């Protein structure tokens, strides 16, 4: 992967595992440049208890069941939790079903995991948050020096120059807990006022992630990369995408098809195309390879009050506030390069696992 130079990046993923989080987990497991230190869970796409089950089950499917998975915040800082089963399915994994995970949760909670890892390995840990920022806000309360202790932070969240996907102005992850997002953005602003060597967080918002449209043809190529029989992959490029034959015989490949089929149906219903916007793995990939995105630093704060701008990521593109940037906002990206990478990595993981699974 370009921009990595053979090194590994110690990474903690903070997830609310629905469909695209599960793809991000599989992508991380399939990427040798990532040392997956731990995964922390937060309520968002589905309630936190379901997130924990989904996360452990997906990691076990990938052969990474020994990665510590920690429970996290059950609800936002001040709001009532809203979840998105209409988008991700009743259990958060679309039409897919996985065996119950065999390994227990880590004894620590998400805040312990994040803070302890950052203190033990200062300047090394990259945190990638793929859900609401509740766990991060609570970790900042525990350890205000976190922006200095982490190597970097990437968030999937926000809509900085485009409409929201939850309200006309708000993106889902920020909408679920705008108070946590506000606190996290403010913490980096304060930290950089004290030390401008602290890295600006990479903000992967809808401006870029909605360009990553995973279609049936991508699914077909993923199945081919995994070793499925070519004739049995043709149906994946059409509606409905069904796992049959050698596709269904591979547990990881079947999971990907069954999970994405629900996502495809959702987007066909609401967005007019049979495919899926795969926000979360794009955020993980761009964390490793910044050539996948173009960014622009900006000062961003979150509207936490009621009204039509609730949870809006208010972005000072013109510098009118006079405040220095606190986020490095992705404003463009090479979605096709990312999708090729995603297909190759997850398809390769399925191919590697199929001998064990069968």
Q: Which residues are catalytic?
A: 279
- CATH number (3.90.245.10, 3.30.43.10, 3.40.50.720, 3.40.30.10) of 9-207+294-332 reads 3.90.245.10
Contact 98, 255 (CB under 8 A): yes
Q: What would you report as the CA-atom Rg of the chain, rounded to the nearest whole angstrom?
A: 19
Mean per-residue pLDDT of the chain:
95
Checking if the pLDDT of 124 tops 60, the result is yes
Checking if the pLDDT of 266 tops 70, the result is yes
What is the domain partition of the chain in residue ranges?
A: 9-207+294-332
Beta strands in the chain (DSSP E): 9-15, 34-41, 69-70, 126-129, 152-156, 202-204, 213-215, 275-277, 293-302, 313-316, 327-333
For 278-310, write each residue's pLDDT tens digit.
999 999 999 999 999 999 999 999 999 999 999
- pLDDT score at 102: 96
For the chain, what percent of residues have pLDDT higher than 90? 96
Give the least confident one: 57-61, 83-87, 128-132. 83-87
Q: Checking phi first, is residue 158 left (phi over 0); if not, alpha (psi -120 to 50) or beta?
A: left
Q: What is the mean pLDDT of residues 328-348?
A: 98
- pLDDT score at 354: 80
Q: What is the mean pLDDT of residues 198-226?
A: 97
Q: What is the pTM of this model?
A: 0.96
- pLDDT score at 2: 42
């Amino acid at each position: 992967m370009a921009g990595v130079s053979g090194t590994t990046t110690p990474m903690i993923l903070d997830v609310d595992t629905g469909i695209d989080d599960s793809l991000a987990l599989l992508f991380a497991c399939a990427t040798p440049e990532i040392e997956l230190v731990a995964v922390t869970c937060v309520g968002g796409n589905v309630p936190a208890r379901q997130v924990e089950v989904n996360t452990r089950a997906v990691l076990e499917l990938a052969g990474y069941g020994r990665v510590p998975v920690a429970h996290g915040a059950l609800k936002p800082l001040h709001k009532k939790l809203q979840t998105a089963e209409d988008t991700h399915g009743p259990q958060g994994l679309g039409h897919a079903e996985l065996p119950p995970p065999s390994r227990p949760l880590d004894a620590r909670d998400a805040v312990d995991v994040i803070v302890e890892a950052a203190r033990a390995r200062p300047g090394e840990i990259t945190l990638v948050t793929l859900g609401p920022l509740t766990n991060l806000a609570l970790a900042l309360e525990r350890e205000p020096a976190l922006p200095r202790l982490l190597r970097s932070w990437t968030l999937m969240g926000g809509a900085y120059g485009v409409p929201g996907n939850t309200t006309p102005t708000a993106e889902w992850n920020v909408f679920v807990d705008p108070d946590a997002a506000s606190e996290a953005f403010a913490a980096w602003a304060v930290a950089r006022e004290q030390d401008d060597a602290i890295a600006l967080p990479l903000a992967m918002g809808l401006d870029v992630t909605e360009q990553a449209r995973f279609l049936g043809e991508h699914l077909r190529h993923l199945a081919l990369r995994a070793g499925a029989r070519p004739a049995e992959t043709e149906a994946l490029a059409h509606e409905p995408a069904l796992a049959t034959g050698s596709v269904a015989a591979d547990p990881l490949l079947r999971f990907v098809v069954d999970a994405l089929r629900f996502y495809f149906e959702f987007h066909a219903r609401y967005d007019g195309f049979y495919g899926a916007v795969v926000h979360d793995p794009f955020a993980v990939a761009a964390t490793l390879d910044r050539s996948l995105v173009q960014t622009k630093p900006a000062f961003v704060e979150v509207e936490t009050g009621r009204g039509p701008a609730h949870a809006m990521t208010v972005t000072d593109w013109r510098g009118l506030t006079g405040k220095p940037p606190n986020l490095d906002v992705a404003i463009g990206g090479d979605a096709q390069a990312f999708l090729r990478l995603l297909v190759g990595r997850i398809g390769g993981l399925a191919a590697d696992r199929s001998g064990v699974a069968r």
